[in-house]
Amino acid sequence: MESKAKLLGHPIHPMLIVFPLGLLASSLGFDAGYLSTGNPEFAAVSFWLISAGILGGLLAAIFGTIDWWAIPSKTRAKAIGLWHGGGNLVVVLLFIGSWWLRSQLSGYAPSSGAIALSCIAVLLALLTGWLGGELVNRLGVGIDNGAHLNASNSLSGRPAADSTGSAGISAHRPGPA
């Protein structure tokens, strides 16, 4: 199934997710810089990276939700999309908590709680990012009208076109040359 939200023929959601992922993950690097040097500029940069990452994540979520609603019910893709989107909502909420803790302090210096929330969020984002990759790369969601919405897990070792994982939904296969 092709993406329902496109810009110049390309799905919008995958274009937008790189920004919040990069911004939010980079904030941990600046936290490390702050912790190792004590330089408050690192803490301020981290705060603003988190601010922009939260806004970017919420914007990406709008287009991800549009695409998720278009996935047929009772498919593996619909379930994975729910875990992907729900997990990313938790990621954004954890970063909102980290941002709020930082905003309560002068100079944006992160508390140990703020850093812990950010670390947990980044680890969760690794998992939800993998789920997003599973949706696009394995199941073809958002890119292929012949998407294999019930293909087996990419860790199964079976090809996506394996009929045992398709539950009656066939992948697009080109005819003989």
Q: What is the pLDDT of residue 83?
A: 96
Q: What is the pLDDT of residue 3?
A: 66
Q: What is the pLDDT of residue 46?
A: 97
d(CA 80, CA 165): 15
Q: What is the pLDDT of residue 56?
A: 96
Task: Kindly report whether the global pTM for this prediction surpasses the value 0.85.
Answer: no
H helices then E strands: how many in the chain?
A: 4, 2
Q: Residues of the chain whose pLDDT is less than 50?
A: 163-177
Q: What is the pLDDT of residue 11?
A: 72
Listed in order, strand segments (DSSP E) in the chain are 6-7, 10-11
d(CA 118, CA 97): 9
Q: What is the pLDDT of residue 6?
A: 67
Q: Where are the domains of the chain?
A: 6-154
Which residues, including other chains, have CB under 8 Å from residue 38's CB and lie 6 or more apart?
A: none
CATH of 6-154, one of 1.10.3430, 1.25.40, 2.30.29, 1.20.120: 1.20.120
CA atoms within 13 A on the CB side of 106: 0
Q: What is the pLDDT of residue 162?
A: 63
